[in-house]
Amino acid sequence: MPSERMQRRIDSLLDEAESAIASMDWETVRARCQAVLALDPGNADAEAYVVAAERADTADSKAVLPSAEAVPPLPASFVSGRYRVLRLLGEGARKRVYLAHDERLDRDVAFAV
């Protein structure tokens, strides 16, 4: 069992690790937890945080961004040029939603295709 002073330092390091988790700063999480484990080998919280950091790193390395070829180009317009497409807003299971400008009414609209 660590002394009271050591326990305060361990608690402080774990608090810093917890804050780093909130901002997904996995290097800081790992560094603070390694410091805790140097002071208190087998600290369950520090070990759990290190495992979480390793999982996050693994998940980040497996995340694959879609290639430019996989994303279809924006349509230039809809309804014979009445709606000029500005950008893609989002994508659901079946449709894509675009921000478009209604040339006739001179206002921006959302268009689902």
Residue with tokens 């361990």: 10
The verdict on residue 36 lying in a domain is yes
Residue where one domain finishes, among candidates 24, 39, 62: 62
Specify the pLDDT at position 38.
94
Looking at the fold, whether 42 and 88 belong to one and the same domain comes out as no
Looking at the fold, whether 86 and 56 belong to one and the same domain comes out as no
Specify the pLDDT at position 28.
93
Separation of alpha carbons 107 and 94, rounded Å: 26
Looking at the fold, whether 16 and 49 belong to one and the same domain comes out as yes
The verdict on residue 32 lying in a domain is yes
Specify the pLDDT at position 100.
84
pLDDT by position in tens, the chain (length 113): 678 999 999 999 999 999 988 888 889 999 999 999 999 999 999 999 999 888 887 765 555 555 555 556 667 766 677 888 888 887 877 888 878 888 888 888 887 77
Specify the pLDDT at position 91.
80
**Number of separate domains in the chain:** 2
The verdict on residue 105 lying in a domain is yes
Specify the pLDDT at position 70.
56
Assign 3-class secondary structure to the chain. Answer: CCCHHHHHHHHHHHHHHHHHHHCCCHHHHHHHHHHHHHHCCCCHHHHHHHHHHHHHHHHHHHCCCCCCCCCCCCCCEECCCCEEEEEEEEECCCCEEEEEEECCCCEEEEEEC
Token digits of residue 98? 């675009």
Looking at the fold, whether 83 and 58 belong to one and the same domain comes out as no
| Structural domain span for residue 34 | 4-62
Provide the residue type at 96 as one letter: R
The verdict on residue 81 lying in a domain is yes
